[in-house]
């Protein structure tokens, strides 16, 4: 039997991202492969507790990574819509923290 994994990347390194990343320890169909932050230092610090996960500087870098199938968007709220659109344009599956947008017009 072949088990296929959804290879996940996380945009943002806040506390909610950490909880999401920790959940992969019990996941049977998903694997965390990369985390991106606006700064390399933040990405490096985040992955210290997640061996094998790539730390990436810049959200664009993660979206361009062919090893990432889906992204969890946990950026500050005003950036959710921008990165959801960018992830869709990059062909990634998306799980976005709420709110998706700040108003009806953005949605």
Helices (DSSP H) in 53-95: which residue ranges? 59-63, 80-89
Query: What kind and span of H or E run contains 17?
Result: helix 15-22
Q: Is 82 a catalytic residue?
A: no
Q: Which of 19, 31, 92, 98 is catalytic?
A: 98
Please list the residues that pair with 30 across neighbouring strands: 6
Enzyme catalytic residues: 98
């Amino acid at each position: 039997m072949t088990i296929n994994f959804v290879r996940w990347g996380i945009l943002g390194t806040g506390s909610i991202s950490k909880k999401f990343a920790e959940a992969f320890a019990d996941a049977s169909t998903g694997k965390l492969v990369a985390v991106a932050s606006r700064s390399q230092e933040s990405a490096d610090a985040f992955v210290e507790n997640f061996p094998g996960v790539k730390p990436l500087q810049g959200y664009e870098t993660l979206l361009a990574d062919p090893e990432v199938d889906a992204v969890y968007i946990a950026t500050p709220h005003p950036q959710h819509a921008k990165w959801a659109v960018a992830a869709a344009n990059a062909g990634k599956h998306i799980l976005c923290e709420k709110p998706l947008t700040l108003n009806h017009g953005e949605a």
